[in-house]
Chains A and B, each alone.
Chain A
Amino acid sequence: MSSLRARTAIVAAADTKVGAVPEMSATQLCVDAACRAIEAAGIGKEQVDGLLTCNAMAEPYMYHAEMIAEYLQIFPRYCMSIGAGGGTTFALVHHAATAIANGLCDTVLIATADAMRSGLSKERAFALMSSAGHPQFESPYGPSIPAFYALIAQAHMHAYGTTPEQLAAVAVNARDYASRNPAAQKREPITIDDVLASRMIADPLHVLDCSLVSDGGAAIILTSAERARDFPGEPVYLLGAGEGHSHEHISQARSLTTSAAVESGQRAYTMAGLGPRDIDVAELYDCFTPVLLIELEDLGFCDKGAAGEFVLAGELGPGGSLPTNTHGGLLAHCHPGNPGSMFSLTEAVRQLRGESCNQVAGAEVALAHAQGGIMSSHATLILGTEATR
């Protein structure tokens, strides 16, 4: 297959209300996101011939994408839901682009949502919280999801001298951007001291090192580069996409401190013909503060082990060398489970269209990265404006 570089473009991107949205179910949030994207694209629903979703924990269906198609009375020729945890949404984009480039469909709606905050029964929330990890070889020891990420953080601190202050700086950066984003769930600015003084969950992770629990959904419409100019919005081209998958369970990982973001990033850079220095703005998965440090290193934005200093020096902030998570990320904007990274994608689209509330001046190329599981399933996207095609 020839390269996917600039073969497809995002022509619409939309978010639902996020945070606590108790008045809407997970399915309604997904449908709301889908309809907002269809409206933004200025098309009729009958023009959607591909539909990709991810299942919702709060309201799962055996065939989720088919359920959403049925709900909206859409009859696609390409239809599936994918589950790769937090990496799901970018894997969906990768699959959609491949399908379009190969003529399986023309116009793909990718819609994801969940209601992790308001939509889970107490029993279900409890069951999810108390059964993290491999059912035989991890879960009996009583680990939590934050604990798995704490294992990564401790290993990184031990190997590279990363400090709790440097981890905290990731959360402070997210809140700073979120403080100027009216859509964000947590908008009060915080300091490094606030993070360090917050309740310890699993050493070295404090509660403010952990992402939010949210309701929300987001959707995009992807089509061929040729068709993209027929839509009202400025097309945002998919220049590179890559994935890397290394394990499911952290106790079986090849490395605790170097992730398959190395491979997913390299694959995306190669396709795009670009490198880390070409990236104007980054939207990186930040379910826990150490994750973002490892991604910065593995995606080549700084040397291995140097991400803590990079963040503490303010490089991710406005005017830094790599403005990152300009919507507030999972730490401050919202984190409705698997759909969380879709908000990175819709923010990247806003940045490249000059529409972000934390606009990076002259942004032409954006990199978005997501991972799912416990640093298990990585997907990197590189997006660009018309000028970068």
Chain B
Amino acid sequence: MSEAQRNLPPVTVETRPFWEACRDGRLLLQQCRGCGHRQFYPRLVCSQCLGRELDWIEACGRGQVESFTIMRQAISPAYRNDLPYVVAIIRLAEGPTMLSNVIDCDPEALQIGMDVELRWATVTDEITLPKFGPA
């Protein structure tokens, strides 16, 4: 199955800087200049104080598995060759959580609380997805 049939993020004017940075191998978060809150995903305003002055900061790329599941049934043929694959919520060292895949590991050996670090997965010329692997 071709990679093109995977679900690709519909990039918006709001998230373009994020996805462009991913292509360059940098995971960006937003940090509020007013209250210091760090957030993912990218937003127009700070979700804590509604401040509009947000700086992009680069995440260190480390995190922990907050929860995970092993997919035994693919959502579409494009994902079938990945089976069994791990869908996980990762808590980044900077605080925010994000959904991702944990790759380069035995799914059965995965545990909540395990340390993980960034792995980049090129999907198309435009889209590179931040994924994680054992630290």
Asked if residues B7 and A251 are in contact (CB atoms below 8 Å), the reply is no
**Chain A residues, CB < 8 A from B101:** 141-142
Asked if residues A140 and B72 are in contact (CB atoms below 8 Å), the reply is no
**Chain A residues, CB < 8 A from B41:** 134, 136-137, 252
Asked if residues B75 and A152 are in contact (CB atoms below 8 Å), the reply is no
How far apart sit A154 and B85, CA to CA, in the bound complex (Å)?
16
Segment touching A, from B9-17, B26-34, B55-63: B9-17
**Chain A residues, CB < 8 A from B7:** 130-131, 135, 139-140, 142
A137-B99, A151-B68, A201-B73 known; A143-B87 Cβ under 8 A: yes
How far apart sit A141 and B79, CA to CA, in the bound complex (Å)?
9
Asked if residues B69 and A151 are in contact (CB atoms below 8 Å), the reply is yes
How many chain B residues touch A (Cβ–Cβ < 8 Å)?
A: 38
A143 contact from B71, B98, B112, B113, Cβ within 8 A:
B71
How far apart sit A136 and B41, CA to CA, in the bound complex (Å)?
9
Shortest C-beta distance, A240 to chain B (Å), equals: 31
B71 contact from A144, A152, A249, Cβ within 8 A:
A144
Instruction: Report if A250 contacts B (CB, 8 A).
Output: yes
**Chain B residues, CB < 8 A from A131:** 7
How far apart sit A137 and B90, CA to CA, in the bound complex (Å)?
12
Asked if residues B99 and A135 are in contact (CB atoms below 8 Å), the reply is no
Instruction: Report if B123 contacts A (CB, 8 A).
Output: yes
A126-B76, A131-B7, A256-B66 known; A141-B100 Cβ under 8 A: yes
Q: Chain B: which residue is nearest A199 at the CB level?
A: B72
Within B33-83, the residues touching A (CB, 8 Å) are 40-41, 66-76, 79, 82
Shortest C-beta distance, A245 to chain B (Å), equals: 15
Asked if residues A138 and B99 are in contact (CB atoms below 8 Å), the reply is yes
Q: Chain A: which residue is nearest B79 at the CB level?
A: A142
How far apart sit A183 and B20, CA to CA, in the bound complex (Å)?
54
**Chain B residues, CB < 8 A from A142:** 6-7, 71, 74-76, 79, 82, 85, 87, 101
A130-B76, A142-B75, A142-B85 known; A252-B97 Cβ under 8 A: yes
**Chain B residues, CB < 8 A from A155:** 66-67, 112
How far apart sit A155 and B91, CA to CA, in the bound complex (Å)?
13
Instruction: Report if B89 contacts A (CB, 8 A).
Output: yes
B68 contact from A129, A130, A154, A205, Cβ within 8 A:
A154
Q: Chain B: which residue is nearest A203 at the CB level?
A: B70
How far apart sit A154 and B113, CA to CA, in the bound complex (Å)?
12
Q: Chain A: which residue is nearest B74 at the CB level?
A: A142
How far apart sit A362 and B71, CA to CA, in the bound complex (Å)?
45
Asked if residues B6 and A140 are in contact (CB atoms below 8 Å), the reply is yes
**Chain B residues packing against A (C-beta within 8 Å):** 6-12, 15, 40-41, 66-76, 79, 82, 85, 87-89, 97-101, 112-113, 123, 127, 129, 131
- Selected A-B contacts with CB under 8 Å, 25 pairs: A126-B76, A129-B75, A134-B41, A134-B99, A138-B99, A140-B7, A141-B87, A141-B99, A141-B100, A141-B131, A142-B85, A142-B101, A143-B75, A147-B71, A151-B89, A152-B67, A155-B67, A158-B67, A201-B72, A201-B73, A203-B69, A203-B70, A250-B99, A251-B89, A252-B41
Closest 7 CB pairs of A and B: A150-B69, A136-B9, A251-B99, A130-B76, A155-B67, A142-B79, A203-B70
